[in-house]
C-alpha cells in the first residue's frame, strides 16, 4: 500500500475534502452544484445513456490530484483521468467486491472509493458476502451446501443472506459517508432473474435483465451506487445470485471502461516464475493459455480467464478487466505499470514484408503523414514508401493501425537492423499495442538500433525498451539493444556520428512517436516497466549506457561543488542500471575478507541470493575451520587468509573488504601484487573514501557509468549514505551562509562486534549515548562529497540495527513542504531503494530493509528552513546492500541482482 501518499490523501479526505462534501449537502459548496452536467435519457426500451461534463475546479479535487501525482507521473495521471472522464460517468468502472474484502480490507476499500469520488469518478460497486454468510449459517446450525460451486439456497439460507447483505451494504455506505462520500445503497431493483434450476439449487437466480435506472439516478445525485448481488424473480421472489455473475451481467449492460475484481492476492500468478502476471492480452495469448501447455492455468485460474474472455467479447474493445488488491486501486488505474493483473482483448499484431501486403497504400501513407508538421510531409512519406519497395523490411501493426513499426533488415555489410518508423496513436497506447509491437520486434530481431530526438517527450519510454544509448550534438539520441561486442558498438557509434539519424545511410522516417499522439502518451519519468505478456514477464536487469541519462530538469553539476566531477543531476527519471539487461552472464568468483562482523554476515546472505556471485573464500581469524552458515551454493569453510595467500589468488574476480578502519591497506596492496589487474576491490571501511584514485560508490548520487568502469570502489559509510541522500536534492537551494545539521542515531550494531560501551546492551538500556560530537569521520565524508560544510552529531541507542537522521537544512529561498517533497519525489523517481513518504519514517520499520525512507518535510514558519527525517538500515543499504550494488555494477550484472527490492510506501 502507498502509505505515504495515501496517508496524505486520506488525511485530506478526512478534513478539508470531507468538510467540502458535507457543505455540498447544505448547498454551501460549489463542488457539487448541478452545473455543466447534461442528462440525456433514451426511450425506456433502450439502454439509458447520459453525457457529462463536470467542472471539478475546486481546491479539493486539485489537492487530491496533486497527491495522486506522488504515486504516478503527472503525464500518467492526466492521461488516464482524461480517458476515464471522456465516457459517461456510469461507464467508468464496475467494481466487484468479495465478502473477504469487506471483512479484512474494508478501510483500504473505502479509502480507494473515496479517492475516486473526490476526483469526480463514480464506480458502480457490486458486493457479495460469502464468507460472512458461511459463518452465520454455521453458527445457526445450518451447514452450507454447494453444487458445482453454486450455493444451494433454501428459505432459511435466503432469509439469513438478505439480512446479512443489507447489513454489509449499509456498513459500507456508512463508512463512505463518514469520509464525506455520498453513497446510495441499492439492495434490489437492478437485477431481474429467473430460477437457475429450482429443484437443484433452490432460490438461486439466473439474471435475465438489468435495470440501470437506479444506477443512473444514484450517479445523477452524485452518489456512489452500492449494489448487492440479489435479484428479483417471478412473483417478486428474491433470488440469490453469485456476485461474480452479477458483476458480469452488470458490465454487459453498462459497457464500462474498467471491470475490477478486488482480490486479497492482488492478481493472477504465473506458476512457473511465481511472479504476479502484469497483463494478459487475450487476442495474443488466450489460445496459448488454454492449450494445456501451462500447468498452472487450471482450476480457478483457468475458469477466471475463460469467464473474463467471454465477458470482454461482449464489451467494446476499449474495456478491460483488472484483478487487484483494494489498496492498489489508484496505482492500477492511474499508472502505466498498474498493480494487479490487467486482462484485455488487445489488438493482435500483424506483420508484412512487402508493400502489397498492406493492401491500401494510401491508408498507410495517411497513417505516416498524420501528425507531421513539415509542409513537405506528404512528399517525404512518398519517398520513404518508394525506398521500402527497394528494401527488405518487416512491418508490425494492429488491424486499425493504432501502432505501426517498420524495421529495415541489415544490408551493405551492416549486422544490425534499424527501426526506421514507430508511429503510435492514443488508442495504441491505451490498448498497450505499442508494447506488443515492440515485443514482437524483439522476438524477430536480436539486434536493433534507431534514433530519437533528444527533446522527444517519450524519450524514457525508449530508454526502458533498450540496452544502450548515446547522444549526438545535433540533438539526436541513438538507442540499441542486443549489441554486446565492443567493436559493433564502436562501429554503430561511428555510423551514428557520420550519418546522424540516417544510420547506415538509410532513409529514416523519424523513429519516434508522432506529435499527434504525444499529449496522450508522454512517457517521461517512467521508472516503472510497461506491462508485459503473462507468459513472458522477464525480470528487469541492468542497463548499459554510454553516457549518463539526460535529466528532465537538466544537470545541476555546475552548481554543486564536490560533485562537479561526477555529474549528479537534480532528477533521475530512470535509474540507468538495474532495470535492463546486464552486460555479463559469467559467474564471478568472490572472496570476502572480514566475514565475522555483522556486515559480513549480511553480505553472505545477499551473495547467496545473487545468482551471479560465486563465493569462493571467506576469511576470519576467529572462525577459522568452522563451516560457513547461510550460504548454500557450495560448502565453504572459514579460512585465516594471509597476505601471502592473497598474492597467490589471481583468479578472484571481486574482493570485498569488510574490515575495521585502518586495516585494509596491506590487503589491497597484496591483491594488487597478484597480477590480476582486472579484479574488483570493494572496501567497506573509511580507508579509501578520500582517495581520488578510488571511486566513491553511492549509486543513487554518483554517475553509475563511473562505477561500472571502476576497479577500486570505496563503499560509503552508513551515516554518510543516509545524510547525503537526505540533503542532495536541496543542494542548489542551501543558504550559502549557514550549514545543515545532521543529528544521527544508530543501533548498536554500528559499533561492531568488538565489546565497547557503545554496544554494551546493559549500558544502552533506557539510555542514549552521544559521541564524537565534532569532527567525526562521517562529518568529513558527508561534507567532502556534498561540497558543503555539514555538521554531524552521532548517537547510539538500544536498537540493534537501524539509523534515523533528523536533518535541519537552511534554505536560500522560501519554499513550502509540498515544494520540497515534490523535489525529492522527482529527484529519486525510479530509484527502487529510495522511498519518499509524507510521514516521519520510523526507524523500527527500516530494520532489515534494503532501502532508505525519507519523510517529514517540516518547514519552519519563515519558509527558509526545513527539517527532513531519513531512516536506513546501517548493516544493509548502509553497508552490505550498497556493497552488492557496487559489485553488481562493476562486474556488469543487474544492479539489484540478489537484493530484495522493498515495496514503496
d(CA 735, CA 455): 33
Q: Are residues 238 and 95 both part of a single domain? A: yes
- Total domains in the fold of the chain: 4
What nine digits make up the cell of 825? Answer: 519525489
What nine digits make up the cell of 67? Answer: 497527491
What nine digits make up the cell of 98? Answer: 468479495
* Tens of pLDDT, residues 870-891: 999 989 999 999 999 999 999 9
User: Is the per-residue pLDDT at 695 higher than 90?
Assistant: yes
Residue 608 lies in a domain: yes
Q: Are residues 378 and 330 both part of a single domain? A: no
User: Is the per-residue pLDDT at 405 higher than 80?
Assistant: yes
Looking at residue 537, what is its pLDDT?
34
Looking at residue 460, what is its pLDDT?
65
User: Is the per-residue pLDDT at 435 higher than 90?
Assistant: no
Looking at residue 723, what is its pLDDT?
96
Which residue among 521, 537, 553 closes a domain? 537
User: Is the per-residue pLDDT at 779 higher than 50?
Assistant: yes
User: Is the per-residue pLDDT at 65 higher than 90?
Assistant: no
Of residues 760 and 308, the one with the higher pLDDT is 308
Work out the angle between the directed axes of helices 299-313 and 282-289 (0-180°, nearest 10). Answer: 140
Region of poorest pLDDT, from 472-476, 680-684, 784-788? 472-476
Looking at residue 429, what is its pLDDT?
61
Q: Please report, for residues 7, 19, 109, 353, the alpha-carbon distance to residue 11 in angstroms, rounded to integers and kept in the order given.
A: 6, 12, 16, 57
Q: Are residues 530 and 610 both part of a single domain? A: no
Q: Are residues 234 and 129 both part of a single domain? A: yes
Question: What's the angle, vertex CA 579, arms to CA 576 and CA 584, rounded to 5?
Answer: 90
Q: Are residues 415 and 502 both part of a single domain? A: yes
User: Is the per-residue pLDDT at 80 higher than 70?
Assistant: no
Residues of the domain holding 633:
588-714
Residue 885 lies in a domain: no
Residue 718 makes CB contacts below 8 A (sequence gap 6+) with 746, 750, 803, 872, 874, 875, 877, 878, 879
What one-character DSSP code corresponds to residue 407? E
Q: Are residues 707 and 756 both part of a single domain? A: no
User: Is the per-residue pLDDT at 232 higher than 50?
Assistant: yes
Of residues 292 and 454, the one with the higher pLDDT is 292
* Tens of pLDDT, residues 39-53: 222 223 333 333 333
Residue 883 is a catalytic residue: no
Looking at residue 142, what is its pLDDT?
73
d(CA 168, CA 177): 14
Residue 548 lies in a domain: no
Q: Work out the number of other CB atoms within 10 angstroms of the CB of residue 361.
A: 11
Residue 68 lies in a domain: no
Residue 782 parent element (H or E): helix 777-786
CATH classification of the domain holding 406 = 3.40.630.30
The sheet with strand 205-210 has its strands ordered as 205-210, 191-195, 230-232, 238-240
Confidence of residue 239 (pLDDT cuts 50, 70, 90): very high
User: Is the per-residue pLDDT at 810 higher than 90?
Assistant: yes
CATH classification of the domain holding 838 = 3.30.360.10
Catalytic residue among 654, 718, 869, 883: 718
Per DSSP, helices labelled H in 179-263 are: 198-201, 213-220, 243-254
Of residues 567 and 640, the one with the higher pLDDT is 640
CATH classification of the domain holding 597 = 3.40.50.720
d(CA 696, CA 886): 10
Looking at residue 884, what is its pLDDT?
96
Q: Are residues 503 and 367 both part of a single domain? A: yes
Confidence of residue 754 (pLDDT cuts 50, 70, 90): low
Q: Are residues 320 and 357 both part of a single domain? A: no
Q: Are residues 117 and 216 both part of a single domain? A: yes
Q: Are residues 302 and 387 both part of a single domain? A: no
Residue 140 lies in a domain: yes
Which residue among 286, 311, 344 closes a domain? 344
Q: Provide DSSP, 332-395.
A: HHHSSS-SSEEEE---PPEEESSGGGGS-HHHHHHHHHTT--STTHHHHHHHHHHHHTTS-EEE
Q: How do beta strands 468-471 and 476-481 pair? A: antiparallel
Residue 124 lies in a domain: yes
d(CA 278, CA 132): 31
d(CA 682, CA 890): 10
Q: Are residues 529 and 405 both part of a single domain? A: yes
Percentage of the chain lying above the pLDDT 90 cut: 28
User: Is the per-residue pLDDT at 746 higher than 70?
Assistant: yes
Q: Are residues 755 and 657 both part of a single domain? A: no
Which residue among 506, 522, 537 closes a domain? 537
Residue 221 lies in a domain: yes
Looking at residue 147, what is its pLDDT?
75
Of residues 303 and 386, the one with the higher pLDDT is 386
User: Is the per-residue pLDDT at 7 higher than 90?
Assistant: no
Looking at residue 558, what is its pLDDT?
24
Beta bridge partners, 629, equal none
Closest among 873, 879, 875, 874 to 849, alpha carbons compared: 873
d(CA 773, CA 795): 9
Residue 560 lies in a domain: no
Looking at residue 904, what is its pLDDT?
56
* Tens of pLDDT, residues 627-682: 998 888 889 999 999 888 888 888 899 999 988 888 888 899 888 887 777 889 99
Looking at every residue in the chain, the average pLDDT score rounds to 77
Region of poorest pLDDT, from 2-11, 66-75, 141-150? 2-11
User: Is the per-residue pLDDT at 581 higher than 80?
Assistant: no
Amino acid at each position: 500500500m502507498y502509505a505515504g501518499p495515501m496517508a496524505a490523501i486520506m488525511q485530506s479526505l478526512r478534513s478539508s475534502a470531507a468538510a467540502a462534501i458535507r457543505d455540498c449537502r447544505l448547498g454551501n459548496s460549489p463542488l457539487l452544484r448541478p452545473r455543466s452536467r447534461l442528462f440525456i435519457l433514451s426511450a425506456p426500451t433502450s439502454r439509458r445513456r447520459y453525457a457529462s461534463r463536470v467542472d471539478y475546479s475546486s481546491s479539493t479535487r486539485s489537492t487530491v490530484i496533486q497527491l495522486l501525482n506522488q504515486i504516478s507521473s503527472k503525464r500518467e495521471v492526466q492521461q488516464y483521468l482524461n480517458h476515464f472522464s471522456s465516457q459517461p460517468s456510469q461507464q467508468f468502472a464496475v467494481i466487484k467486491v468479495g465478502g473477504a474484502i469487506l471483512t479484512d480490507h474494508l478501510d483500504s476499500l473505502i479509502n480507494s472509493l473515496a479517492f475516486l469520488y473526490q476526483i469526480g469518478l463514480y464506480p458502480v460497486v457490486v458486493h457479495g458476502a460469502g464468507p460472512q454468510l458461511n459463518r452465520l449459517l454455521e453458527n445457526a446450525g445450518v451447514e452450507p451446501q454447494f453444487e458445482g460451486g453454486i450455493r444451494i439456497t433454501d428459505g432459511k439460507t435466503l432469509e439469513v443472506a438478505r439480512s446479512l447483505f443489507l447489513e454489509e451494504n449499509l456498513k459500507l455506505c456508512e463508512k463512505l459517508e463518514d469520509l464525506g462520500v455520498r453513497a446510495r445503497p441499492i439492495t434490489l431493483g437492478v437485477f431481474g432473474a429467473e430460477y437457475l434450476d429450482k429443484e437443484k439449487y433452490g432460490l438461486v437466480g439466473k439474471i435475465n435483465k438489468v435495470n440501470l435506472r437506479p444506477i443512473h439516478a444514484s450517479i445523477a445525485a452524485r452518489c456512489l451506487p452500492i449494489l448487492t448481488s440479489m435479484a428479483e424473480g417471478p412473483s417478486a421472489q428474491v433470488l440469490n445470485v453469485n456476485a461474480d455473475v452479477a458483476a458480469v451481467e452488470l458490465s454487459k449492460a453498462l459497457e464500462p471502461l474498467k471491470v475490477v475484481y478486488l482480490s486479497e492476492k492482488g492478481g493472477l500468478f504465473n506458476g512457473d516464475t511465481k511472479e504476479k502476471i502484469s497483463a494478459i492480452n487475450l487476442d495474443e495469448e488466450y489460445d496459448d493459455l488454454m492449450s494445456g501447455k501451462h500447468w498452472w492455468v487450471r482450476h480457478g485460474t483457468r475458469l477466471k480467464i475463460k469467464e473474463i474472455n467471454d465477458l470482454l467479447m461482449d464489451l467494446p474493445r476499449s474495456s478491460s478487466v483488472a484483478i487487484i488488491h483494494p489498496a492498489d486501486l489508484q496505482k492500477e488505474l492511474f499508472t502505466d505499470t498498474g498493480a494487479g493483473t490487467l486482462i484485455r482483448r488487445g489488438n493482435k499484431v500483424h506483420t508484412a514484408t512487402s508493400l502489397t501486403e498492406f493492401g491500401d497504400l494510401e491508408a498507410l501513407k495517411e497513417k505516416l503523414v498524420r501528425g507531421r508538421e513539415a509542409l513537405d510531409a506528404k512528399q517525404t512519406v512518398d519517398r520513404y514508401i518508394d525506398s521500402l519497395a527497394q528494401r527488405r523490411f518487416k512491418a508490425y501493426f494492429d488491424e486499425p493501425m493504432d501502432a505501426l513499426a517498420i524495421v529495415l533488415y541489415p544490408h551493405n555489410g551492416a549486422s544490425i537492423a534499424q527501426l526506421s518508423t514507430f508511429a503510435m496513436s492514443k488508442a495504441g497506447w491505451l490498448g498497450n499495442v505499442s508494447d506488443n509491437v515492440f515485443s514482437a520486434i524483439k522476438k524477430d530481431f536480436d539486434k536493433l538500433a534507431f534514433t530519437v530526438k533528444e527533446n522527444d517527450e517519450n524519450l524514457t519510454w525508449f530508454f526502458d525498451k533498450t540496452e544502450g544509448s548515446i547522444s549526438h550534438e545535433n540533438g539526436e539520441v541513438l538507442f540499441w539493444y542486443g549489441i554486446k561486442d565492443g567493436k559493433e558498438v564502436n562501429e554503430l557509434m561511428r555510423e551514428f556520428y557520420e550519418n546522424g539519424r540516417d544510420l547506415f545511410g538509410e532513409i529514416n522516417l523519424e523513429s519516434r512517436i508522432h506529435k499527434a499522439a504525444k499529449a496522450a502518451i508522454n512517457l517521461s519519468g517512467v521508472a516503472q516497466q510497461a506491462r508485459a505478456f503473462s507468459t513472458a514477464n522477464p525480470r528487469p536487469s541492468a542497463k548499459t549506457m554510454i553516457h549518463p541519462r539526460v535529466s528532465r530538469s537538466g544537470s545541476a553539476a555546475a552548481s554543486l561543488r564536490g560533485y562537479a566531477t561526477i555529474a549528479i543531476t537534480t532528477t533521475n527519471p530512470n535509474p540507468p542500471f538495474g532495470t535492463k539487461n546486464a552486460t555479463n552472464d559469467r559467474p564471478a568468483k568472490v572472496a570476502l575478507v572480514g566475514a565475522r562482523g555483522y556486515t559480513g554476515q549480511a553480505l553472505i546472505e545477499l551473495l547467496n541470493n545473487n545468482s551471479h556471485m560465486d563465493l569462493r573464500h571467506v576469511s576470519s581469524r576467529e572462525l577459522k575451520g568452522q563451516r560457513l552458515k547461510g550460504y548454500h551454493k557450495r560448502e565453504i569453510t572459514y579460512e585465516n587468509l594471509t597476505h601471502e595467500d592473497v598474492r597467490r589468488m589471481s583468479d578472484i574476480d571481486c574482493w570485498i573488504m569488510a574490515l575495521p578502519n585502518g586495516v585494509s591497506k596491506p590487503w589491497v596492496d597484496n591483491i594488487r601484487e597478484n597480477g590480476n589487474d582486472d579484479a574488483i576491490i570493494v572496501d567497506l571501511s573509511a580507508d579509501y573514501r578520500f582517495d581520488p584514485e578510488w571511486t566513491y560508490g553511492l549509486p543513487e548520487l554518483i554517475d553509475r557509468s563511473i562505477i561500472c568502469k571502476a576497479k577500486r570502489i570505496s563503499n560509503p559509510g552508513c551515516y554518510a549514505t543516509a545524510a547525503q541522500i537526505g540533503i542532495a536534492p536541496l543542494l542548489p537551494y542551501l543558504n550559502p551562509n549557514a550549514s545543515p545539521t545532521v543529528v544521527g542515531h544508530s543501533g548498536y550494531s554500528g559499533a561492531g562486534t568488538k565489546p565497547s560501551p557503545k554496544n554494551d546492551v546493559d549500558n544502552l538500556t533506557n539510555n542514549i549515548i552521544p559521541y564524537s560530537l565534532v569532527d567525526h569521520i562521517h562529518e568529513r565524508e558527508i561534507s567532502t562529497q556534498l561540497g558543503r560544510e555539514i555538521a554531524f552529531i552521532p548517537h547510539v541507542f538500544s536498537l540493534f540495527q537501524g539509523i534515523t537522521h533528523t536533518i535541519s537544512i537552511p534554505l536560500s529561498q522560501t519554499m513550502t513542504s509540498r515544494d520540497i517533497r515534490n523535489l525529492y519525489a522527482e529527484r529519486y523517481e525510479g530509484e527502487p531503494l529510495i522511498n519518499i513518504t509524507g510521514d516521519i519514517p520510523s526507524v523500527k520499520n527500516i530494520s532489515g530493509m534494503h532501502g532508505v525512507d525519507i519523510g517529514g518535510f517540516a518547514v519552519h514558519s519563515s519558509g527558509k528552513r526545513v527539517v527532513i527525517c531519513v531512516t536506513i538500515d546501517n548493516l544493509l543499504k548502509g553497508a552490505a546492500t550498497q556493497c552488492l550494488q557496487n559489485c553488481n555494477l562493476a562486474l556488469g550484472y543487474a544492479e539489484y541482482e540478489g537484493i530484495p527490492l522493498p515495496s514503496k510506501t
